[in-house]
Structure 1
Amino acid sequence: MARPPDSPPPDLPDALAVPRARWRVQWIWLVPLVAVLIGAWLAARTILEQGPTITISFKTGEGLEAGKTKIKFKDVDIGVVKTVALSKDFSHVIATAELTPDASSMLRDDTRFWVVRPRVSGGTVSGISTLLSGAYIGMDIGKKKNERRDFVGLETPPVFASDVPGREYVLKSEDLGSVDVGSPIYFRRLQVGQVTAYELDPNGRGVTMRVFVNAPYDRFVTADTRFWHASGVDVSLSTEGVKVNTQSLVSILIGGLAFQSVPGAPDEPPAPAHTSFQLFSDRTEAMKMHDRIVETYVFNFKESVRGLVVGAPVEFRGIQIGEVEAIHTRFDPDTRQFSIPVQIKLYPERFTSRYENEPRGGRLARSPREMADFLVSRGMRGQLKTGSLITGQLYIALDFFPNAPKAEVDWDRKPPELPTVPSGLQSLQESVSELMVRMNKIPFEAIGKNAQRTLARADTLLQSFDTQLVPQASDALTAARTTLNSANSALQPDSALQQDTADAIRELSRTASALRSLAEYLERHPEALIRGKAEDGK
């Protein structure tokens, strides 16, 4: 029904002002929001799944390619090289590599990296597969607990992995010989290890080698084990003939080492890892008796020592008790003379006294000084002798010389000085020299003049003999010949002298017979000397 015009309007509610919202959710924005969330999740997942990044420095970048060169452990890919760049000083190459997340625990302080490429070392060939696949970086996990991210790569691959059972040892030698990294090590002609590394000593006087002996052979390396060079062929001549010893054909071509304990040595526990041993030149030298007590002395010779070399033996009646260590020269300002001091190493344990019921011998004295004084007081001296007439090599012989002048050990010198006696040849030379001195004192010129005068007198005498005595001697010889002829005539059987002599002999025979008859008669009748001979019949 329509409202009348003049009627008042109805009461209406008051209008309220409602503010308009400034932002409204639009469904169109949900799509990019979801995309952002997915991207963030993917980025977070990528970051979480990303492995560690490391740097490895090498001397050269040979075989390294960014994005291609792999890092492998036990032939399993664990990373890839991302960049290869020079160092700031241009001295080496730095390779940046990204590893898998699982490799984080492998990055120890002593983890090793090296480039695997074709190599020939120590008679072994490695890395042949890289000729087709290309070089890659090898890895060996360390054993230390500290982690690191920057490493220095090895220029040569390690001979053995860190997880290979066995022990590593240190060998000290005067020179390297024909040994190289990877050279074999033999035990009773079985290959049981390899040479892992070598380096020159800081003082330049020797070489230090590191060798690895595989298990279970490492238990045969004890404190009394001897190592020696097994390279080449060892030829020896004995009463049994010629002997040729070698470890193997490989050791002849590329060299090698060998070890063995001294025969008869007691059983000992295995030597700890990194134990140091001396490396000998051959098996004979290695198996020699090496004394624990070594004393140093000096022999001062005043004669030539040509033929005496370092290492020459010092013997006591054919038994080696030491060796020559050094040969020097000395000038005495007081006497203005030169001498040759020879320094030796003496092994006092070899001066032992063994008895029939004693298993071990003992030293002659308690102290080295007491022993040296004891021996020298009884005439022990050092003397040079010839060991070989062919080579002229000399050696020092210790022996007792009762007639040698009295001497004492000079303990004031360091090392102490032992007395010496001249060698047999030197004594002969001295005798000849003394004889020559005496002969030089003989006045041969005066003797010659006297001899000339004597010869002149003899010549004069001979001349007068020819002129005076010869005719007289001829007359005397003629008279003597005449006398001999007369005597010869008188001695003929039919000569008067011979007849008279025969008659006289017959008369003497008859006289002797008569005297014999008279003696027999007087023996029967001794009274006849007083009364006379009795008449017949009375």
Structure 2
Amino acid sequence: MSSTEQPRNTETAKVSAAAPVSRVWFIPLIAIVIGAWIIFTQWSNQGPLITIELLGAAGIEENKTPIKVRDLAIGQVTKITLKEDLDGVIVTARIDKEAEHLLTENSKFWVVSPRISFSEVSGLSTLLSGSYIAMNANGNGRPQTNFKALPRPPVTPPGTPGLHITLTSDRDFAYKEGDPIVYKGHKVGEFEESFFNQYERAMYYTAFVEAPYHRLITENTRFWDASGVKVRLRASGIEVDTGSVETLLSNGVTFDVPEGSTPGVPITDKAYFEIFESEEMAQSESYRLSAEYVLLIDESVRGLNIGAPVEYRGLRVGEVVSINQLPLEMGSLLEADYKIPVVINVYPGKVRQGDTPAGLARVREQIREWIKQDLRATLRIGNLLTGALYVDLNHDEEAASSEVARILDYEIIPTSSTELTQITQKAEALLDKINALPLEQLSDDMVSAVNQMGVAAESVRQSSTNFDALIADVDMKSINSELVKSLQQVSNMLETLTNTGLIDKEAQQSLDELQETMRQIQPLLQRLNQTPNSLIFGRQHEPIEPKAKTVSQEP
């Protein structure tokens, strides 16, 4: 080894086994765990997915359009797809976990957007914020995730206190969503939905009456049409019916309890009511029972309408049910002696009898007795302007008693001549009397009287002429002159008597003589005042006393 070489420091290397996992990998592992926890938390807290079937997707956007309950967002639209049959769209939405319990079979969805129609203006707030899907739910019912949205927002806001009812009608009038329900001119509710039953050929309507007016709906409540202006030509005259301002512009109904009926028990939800054509029909329908009769009219029935009143002593007790609608076996107008059958009814409730079978039996029995005596039916003119007729039940004293006849199941009430026929008969009788008068003889007598009056007038004219001639011969001026002279002489004589005092002297002398005469008869008056009988018995110094008759005494 040379001297320049340095000694080496040799150390023994220590060999150790390498770590199985590097610490560097803990960082991504922690990130994975945190990510998994976040995903799990998000997955566990997210709400369910639901599908909503809509007619169109106008105003709806993915990941933007919210789903709200009472203006609070509880979800969001995530996807929009077209239906396979192309008659709508399917909207998929994510609902928050906290609102999952609201997804039941009773939940309702609809799109809220600006709407301007004849009956409402709504959704104006969405002009700036955009459309959204509203939800109405109460949490009752079975869970559900597939829904079909309403075609329009419900008329009644969700949660509004009140009463839902169902109205039905087979008349020639229809209502749409939003039409008002009016009570005494005040709007208390609206129509919500309509459905046509093709088997019953009738319309069904879902309506809502707001609180506290829903307490007015009872089992005896009747609904009738109050749309627009109705002009009717009745037997009582021209009737004009109008509702509120809203019903003048659109259709609507009103309701009340018929007169004479008790309010009844308040109804529960979803009760059914019929819509009548008028208040009059609604009032009549409040009576369940009625006695029907037939009138056989052998005169014209022009002016008599179905629904015309039937009156007894001026009070309405029923109405006309049908005119000439009995079976063909009753005959036809081609027959010479055909009588037109008119069916009328009498309500027991309107004659102060109970609306019960017992009241109906009482009415039938009483009318049957009256028919046997003198009850008759007459068509009378209710209004000269319209010519409408009504049926008047009256007692005809000249009518002969008769038995009660029947047609089918109806009893017949005998009829008497109509008012127009009676007037015609009286006019014909008057004309007959006029024709029976000796008009020719009366004419000759009148001509003779007129001739005599002419002769008399000529005589009066001649006398007047003679009188005028006589007056003309009198000298009126000389007569006036003589009268003036005579009056002047009388005036001069009175003036002379007044100036000489002769009149005063004569008057004074007459008064003196009158006083002297009164002084002379004064003693006589005094004596008569003291002894009035002196004129009969003369002067007596002793008073006259009555003396008793002397009765002789026998031994």
Given the two structures, how large is their TM-score scaled by the length of structure 2?
Answer: 0.60
The answer as to 2:381 corresponding to 1:386 is yes
The answer as to 2:280 corresponding to 1:271 is no
Deviation at 1:53, TM superposition (A): 1.1
Deviation at 1:353, TM superposition (A): 7.8
Q: What residue in structure 2 maps to residue 74 of structure 1?
A: 70
Deviation at 1:81, TM superposition (A): 1.9
Kept after mapping to 2: 8 A contact 1:178/1:231: no
Deviation at 1:171, TM superposition (A): 3.2
Q: What residue in structure 1 maps to residue 344 of structure 2?
A: 344
Deviation at 1:430, TM superposition (A): 12
Residue 331 to residue 223, structure 1, CA distance change in 2 (3 Å): closer
Q: What residue in structure 2 maps to residue 313 of structure 1?
A: 309
Residue-by-residue CA offset, 1:487-529 (whole Å, 9 max, x unaligned): xxxxxxxxxxxxxxxxxxxxxxxxxxxxxxxxxxxxxxxxxxx
Residue-by-residue CA offset, 1:230-251 (whole Å, 9 max, x unaligned): 55568999xxxx9999765444
SS of 1:366's equivalent in the other structure is helix
Question: 1:88, 1:282 → 2: CA distance?
Answer: 49
Kept after mapping to 2: 8 A contact 1:349/1:363: no
5 Å matches for 1:123-142?
A: 123-142=119-138
Deviation at 1:141, TM superposition (A): 0.7
Amino acid at match of 1:395: Y
Residue 314 to residue 138, structure 1, CA distance change in 2 (3 Å): same
Deviation at 1:110, TM superposition (A): 1.1
Kept after mapping to 1: 8 A contact 2:372/2:401: no
Deviates more, 1:92-101 or 1:372-381: 372-381
Give the counterpart of 2:412 among 414, 418, 431: 418
Residue 157 to residue 295, structure 1, CA distance change in 2 (3 Å): farther
5 Å matches for 1:53-202?
A: 53-121=49-117, 123-142=119-138, 144-173=140-169, 175=171, 180-202=176-198
Structural RMSD (CA): 4.4
Amino acid at match of 1:193: G
Residue 57 to residue 190, structure 1, CA distance change in 2 (3 Å): same
Kept after mapping to 2: 8 A contact 1:173/1:207: yes
Question: 1:334, 1:227 → 2: CA distance?
Answer: 39
Residue-by-residue CA offset, 1:117-150 (whole Å, 9 max, x unaligned): 1223463310112222222111111453211111
Question: 1:106, 1:232 → 2: CA distance?
Answer: 42
Deviation at 1:264, TM superposition (A): 7.6
Residue 331 to residue 167, structure 1, CA distance change in 2 (3 Å): closer
Give the counterpart of 1:221 among 217, 224, 247: 217
Residue 86 to residue 372, structure 1, CA distance change in 2 (3 Å): farther
SS of 1:163's equivalent in the other structure is coil
Deviation at 1:309, TM superposition (A): 1.8
SS of 1:390's equivalent in the other structure is coil
Kept after mapping to 2: 8 A contact 1:109/1:142: no
Q: Give ranges in structure 2 of 5+ residues lacking alignment.
A: 1-16, 430-555
Residue 107 to residue 63, structure 1, CA distance change in 2 (3 Å): same
Kept after mapping to 2: 8 A contact 1:81/1:98: yes
SS of 1:308's equivalent in the other structure is coil
Question: 1:339, 1:236 → 2: CA distance?
Answer: 28
SS of 2:160's equivalent in the other structure is coil
Amino acid at match of 1:326: S
Kept after mapping to 1: 8 A contact 2:48/2:95: yes
Kept after mapping to 2: 8 A contact 1:121/1:181: no
Amino acid at match of 2:350: R
Deviation at 1:204, TM superposition (A): 6.1
Question: 1:76, 1:52 → 2: CA distance?
Answer: 18
The answer as to 2:361 corresponding to 1:366 is yes
Q: What residue in structure 2 maps to residue 212 of structure 1?
A: 208
Deviation at 1:189, TM superposition (A): 4.5
Q: What residue in structure 2 maps to residue 511 of structure 1?
A: none
Deviation at 1:24, TM superposition (A): 5.1
Residue 102 to residue 63, structure 1, CA distance change in 2 (3 Å): same
Q: How many residues align?
A: 401
Amino acid at match of 1:424: T
Amino acid at match of 2:417: S
> Identity of paired residues, percent?
34
Residue 353 to residue 29, structure 1, CA distance change in 2 (3 Å): closer
Q: What residue in structure 1 maps to residue 467 of structure 2?
A: none
Amino acid at match of 2:188: V
Q: What residue in structure 1 maps to residue 319 of structure 2?
A: 323
SS of 2:167's equivalent in the other structure is strand
